[in-house]
């Protein structure tokens, strides 16, 4: 038996030895390491039949399974993973090579270590994406850790709030009509909440991708608001239906936000197009958290049935759990390192680049990004893709904007500035109107004659141009925002502040015809021509962001309206 095994090992060795030259020649691998002590450098001049070399078997994720050392001088194959004793005089054998610093384990210790590794690998396969950690971004595990704790607490409060709802629905009617009244109330609160949820989703669902962090936090607030409303129903049993309906709507909106933001987050975590795997493992994690929370909530309920507390005490306990739930959500959001551009992250990048000519890393930008309160970078507000009606009140204002764009050879967009009431201009609005850039000369026959590759190249070119125009217009608007703040600090703009009527030109002067506006546009156009190309070059060359204009997506809230100039 042992001789047969040795023979098999020898055949395996010979097979590896005869094919190893072909493998390395195809790869044309050269090691540029200048360290004289490094024996891993390979070239075509080496004969692998006359040198000692090693091979490693590596599992996806970087874990080394086995290491083999081949030494032809002694006709020996050495392995760190196997040890076979050979009492014959045959020189071809496996030998266990141990590191001098490696502790020799007893049989019992080996079994315990093996069991621990098996248990860890089983848990890892069950709850983490295949190939973790090399298949996901570095911020994945930090986010999932906080989300698991948050989901456990959310499940716990769900049990307690449901108990409060059941207590309320039972107490609203007489004994004879109890089952029917309870059922009607329960169905109505779900129906009213679901109807309002559909209307909300129809109007606001497109906003979730633009600011994932802000809406994820608002989802946490809505969820806990719904839970606390349910806890209040025992105190106001006569208002069960409106309270329960609002609570159901609030938690439904939270679920809608969670589902929408989850898709974008899974995309950001993925490194190897494994979004499906990440999504499935998140469902496994969520179910484990849900069951854990159910067990905790049920245990608390059983304790309360033996040692009953007042409704106020129950409410206080859920209040505390809700604060912990929100705290976990905040930490989960802070751990996210998004590499897509939204308006706030773009503003942070531009602001720092203008000051230092440096592109901040995504980690620093994400730390600077605000999601609880409104950020200073978003004031005055910049709106993209606006209509003529909301941007200009009078025709001469539109004419002035066209003249300014024409004087600066800008055929991509128009800019409208509408001042607010505040002297610091933080309530002012800068609007961007985009020209329609579609090639109207391209006929159907021309499109038919194009090859698929040419059509794809044209689509990539159009997306690249569109992304650059959007970034350029936002860069321009950011420069205007900075100039407005300077004017506000010098009180030179107070003459044109809105008088409260809502008109764009309020106050005692018309800002659209003012020398201040012309000065702002001249200064910003000069800066734009000098700086935007440099900023775009620095940003696209930054490996941390990996922004590619032809394929990357800008998470900006942009209106669907464009303008077309017919002369």
**Do both 179 and 290 map to the same domain?**
yes
| Number of domain units in the chain | 3
Q: How far apart are CA 157 and CA 566, in angstroms?
A: 61
Q: Distance between alpha carbon 296 and the CA centroid of its chain, in Å?
A: 31
**Do both 172 and 248 map to the same domain?**
yes
147 confidence band (pLDDT: 50, 70, 90): very high
CB 505 within 8 A of CB 511: yes
Among the ranges 254-258, 374-378, 448-452, which has the highest mean pLDDT value? 254-258
What does the buried/exposed string (b/e) look like for 507-527 if buried means 16 or more CB atoms within 10 Å of the residue's CB?
beebbbebebbeebbeebbeb
103 confidence band (pLDDT: 50, 70, 90): very low
49 confidence band (pLDDT: 50, 70, 90): low
Q: Residue 214: which of 260, 165, 180, 154 has the closest Cα?
A: 260
Domain of residue 311, residue span: 140-334
135 confidence band (pLDDT: 50, 70, 90): confident
Quick check: 102 pLDDT over 50? no
**Residue range 77-106: mean pLDDT, rounded:** 43
The label of the residue with tokens 């669907």 reads: 560
Report pLDDT for 312.
66
Q: Tell me the angle at which helices 240-269 and 212-232 cross, rounded to the nearest 10 degrees.
A: 150
171 confidence band (pLDDT: 50, 70, 90): low
Q: Partners of 342 in the beta sheet?
A: 555
SS3 431: strand
Among the ranges 345-349, 373-377, 380-384, which has the highest mean pLDDT value? 345-349
CB 96 within 8 A of CB 82: yes
Quick check: 115 pLDDT over 80? no
Give the DSSP H or E segment for 414.
strand 413-418
Does a structural domain hold residue 299? yes
Report pLDDT for 336.
93
Q: pLDDT per residue over 154-163, tens digit each? A: 999 988 888 8
SS (H, E, C) 462-477: HHHHHHHHHHHHHHHH
Q: pLDDT per residue over 200-209, tens digit each? A: 777 777 778 7
Does a structural domain hold residue 115? no
**Do both 210 and 349 map to the same domain?**
no
> How many Cβ atoms sit within 10 Å of the Cβ of residue 186?
16
Report pLDDT for 5.
42
Does a structural domain hold residue 294? yes
26 vs 163: which has the higher pLDDT? 163
Beta strands in 82-228 (DSSP E): 94-96
What is the chain's mean pLDDT, rounded?
74
Report pLDDT for 46.
58
Quick check: 357 pLDDT over 70? yes
**Residue range 340-353: mean pLDDT, rounded:** 91
Q: For the ranges 77-81, 282-286, 363-367, which has the lowest average pLDDT?
A: 77-81
**Do both 408 and 359 map to the same domain?**
yes
Q: How far apart are CA 251 and CA 160, in angstroms?
A: 15
Q: Partners of 383 in the beta sheet?
A: 431
Q: What phi-psi label fits residue 425: left (phi over 0), alpha (psi between -120 and 50 degrees) or beta?
A: left
328 confidence band (pLDDT: 50, 70, 90): very high
| Residue finishing a domain among 334, 366, 385 | 334
Does a structural domain hold residue 162? yes
Burial label, 33 (beta-carbon count in 10 A; 0-12, 13-18, 19+): exposed
Q: How far apart are CA 156 and CA 486, in angstroms?
A: 52
131 confidence band (pLDDT: 50, 70, 90): confident
Q: For the ranges 41-50, 85-94, 348-357, 377-386, which has the lowest average pLDDT?
A: 85-94
273 confidence band (pLDDT: 50, 70, 90): confident
Q: For the ranges 3-17, 113-127, 367-381, which has the lowest average pLDDT?
A: 3-17
**Do both 372 and 481 map to the same domain?**
yes
In the chain, pLDDT over 90 holds for what percent of residues? 21
219 confidence band (pLDDT: 50, 70, 90): very high
Report pLDDT for 60.
53
315 confidence band (pLDDT: 50, 70, 90): confident
**Do both 34 and 146 map to the same domain?**
no
Report pLDDT for 551.
81
**Do both 99 and 212 map to the same domain?**
no
Does a structural domain hold residue 494? yes
Which domain CATH number covers 303? 1.20.1250
81 confidence band (pLDDT: 50, 70, 90): very low
Quick check: 292 pLDDT over 90? yes
Does a structural domain hold residue 437? yes
Q: Is the pTM of this model over 0.75?
A: no
**Do both 167 and 190 map to the same domain?**
yes
**Do both 174 and 260 map to the same domain?**
yes
Quick check: 508 pLDDT over 50? no
**Do both 426 and 499 map to the same domain?**
yes
Quick check: 439 pLDDT over 60? no
In the chain, pLDDT over 70 holds for what percent of residues? 65
Report pLDDT for 145.
94
| Residue finishing a domain among 334, 351, 371 | 334
**Do both 312 and 407 map to the same domain?**
no
Does a structural domain hold residue 516? yes
CB 67 within 8 A of CB 77: no
**Residue range 393-417: mean pLDDT, rounded:** 83
Q: Residue 413: which of 555, 553, 207, 565 has the closest Cα?
A: 565
495 vs 327: which has the higher pLDDT? 327
Among the ranges 82-86, 419-423, 519-523, which has the highest mean pLDDT value? 519-523
> How many Cβ atoms sit within 10 Å of the Cβ of residue 305?
9
Q: Residue 481: which of 406, 393, 411, 378 has the closest Cα?
A: 378
SS3 25: helix
Report pLDDT for 90.
44
Quick check: 427 pLDDT over 70? yes
CB 270 within 8 A of CB 278: yes
Does a structural domain hold residue 123? no
**Residue range 273-281: mean pLDDT, rounded:** 89
SS3 136: strand
Quick check: 48 pLDDT over 60? no
| Residue finishing a domain among 298, 315, 334 | 334
For residue 243, give Cα distances in angstroms to 155, 165, 168, 227, 469.
20, 10, 11, 11, 48
Report pLDDT for 184.
60
**Residue range 423-452: mean pLDDT, rounded:** 67
236 confidence band (pLDDT: 50, 70, 90): confident
Report pLDDT for 523.
85
Among the ranges 90-104, 226-240, 484-498, which has the highest mean pLDDT value? 226-240
**Do both 264 and 373 map to the same domain?**
no
Question: Any idea of the CA torsion for 239, 245, 247, 249, to the nearest 10 degrees?
Answer: -160
Q: How far apart are CA 270 and CA 264, in angstroms?
A: 10
512 confidence band (pLDDT: 50, 70, 90): low
């Amino acid at each position: 038996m042992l001789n047969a095994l040795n023979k098999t090992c020898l055949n395996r060795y010979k097979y590896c030895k005869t094919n190893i030259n072909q493998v390395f020649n195809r790869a044309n691998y050269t090691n540029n390491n200048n360290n004289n002590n490094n024996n891993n450098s390979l070239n075509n001049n080496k004969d692998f039949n006359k040198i000692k070399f090693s091979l490693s078997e590596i599992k996806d994720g970087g874990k080394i399974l086995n290491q083999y050392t081949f030494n032809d001088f002694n006709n020996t194959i050495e392995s760190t993973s196997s040890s076979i004793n050979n009492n014959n005089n045959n020189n071809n054998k496996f030998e266990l090579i141990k590191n001098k610093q490696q502790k020799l384990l007893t049989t019992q210790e080996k079994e315990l270590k093996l069991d621990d590794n098996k248990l860890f690998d089983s848990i890892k396969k069950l709850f983490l994406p295949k190939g973790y950690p090399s298949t996901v971004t570095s911020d994945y595990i930090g986010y999932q850790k906080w989300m698991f704790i948050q989901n456990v607490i959310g499940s716990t409060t769900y049990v307690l709030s449901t108990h409060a709802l059941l207590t309320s629905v039972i107490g609203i009617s007489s004994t004879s009509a109890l089952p029917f009244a309870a059922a009607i109330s329960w169905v109505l609160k779900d129906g009213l909440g679901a109807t309002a949820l559909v209307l909300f989703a129809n109007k606001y669902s497109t906003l979730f991708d633009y600011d994932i962090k802000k809406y994820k936090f608002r989802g946490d607030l809505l969820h806990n608001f719904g839970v606390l409303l349910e806890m209040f129903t025992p105190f106001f049993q006569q208002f069960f239906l409106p309270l329960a309906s609002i609570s159901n709507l609030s938690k439904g909106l939270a679920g809608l936000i969670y589902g929408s933001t989850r898709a974008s987050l899974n995309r950001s975590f993925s490194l190897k197009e494994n979004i499906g795997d990440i999504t499935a493992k998140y469902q496994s994690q969520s179910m484990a958290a849900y069951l854990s929370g159910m067990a905790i909530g049920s245990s608390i309920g059983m304790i309360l049935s033996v040692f009953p507390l007042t409704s106020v005490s129950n409410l206080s306990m859920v209040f505390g759990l809700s604060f912990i739930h929100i705290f976990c959500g905040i930490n989960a959001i802070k751990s996210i390192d998004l590499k897509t551009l939204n308006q706030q992250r773009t503003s942070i990048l531009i602001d720092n680049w203008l000051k230092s000519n440096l592109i901040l890393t995504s980690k620093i930008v994400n730390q600077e990004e605000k999601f609880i309160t409104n950020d200073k970078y978003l004031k005055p507000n910049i709106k993209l893709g606006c209509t003529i009606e909301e941007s200009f009140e009078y025709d001469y204002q539109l004419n002035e904007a066209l003249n300014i764009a024409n004087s600066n050879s800008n055929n991509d967009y128009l800019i409208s500035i509408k001042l607010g009431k505040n002297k610091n201009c933080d309530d002012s609005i800068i609007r961007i109107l985009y020209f329609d850039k579609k090639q109207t000369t391209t006929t159907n026959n021309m499109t038919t004659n194009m090859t698929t590759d040419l059509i794809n190249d044209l689509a990539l070119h159009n997306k690249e141009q569109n992304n650059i125009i959007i970034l350029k217009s936002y860069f321009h608007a950011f420069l205007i925002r900075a100039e407005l703040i300077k004017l506000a600090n010098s009180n030179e703009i107070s003459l044109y502040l809105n008088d409260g009527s809502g008109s764009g030109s309020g106050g005692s002067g018309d800002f659209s015809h003012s020398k201040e506006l012309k000065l702002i546009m001249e200064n910003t156009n000069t800066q734009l021509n000098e700086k935007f190309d440099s900023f775009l070059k620095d940003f696209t060359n930054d490996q941390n962001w990996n922004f590619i204009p032809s394929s990357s997506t800008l998470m900006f809230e942009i209106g669907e309206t464009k303008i077309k100039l017919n002369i």
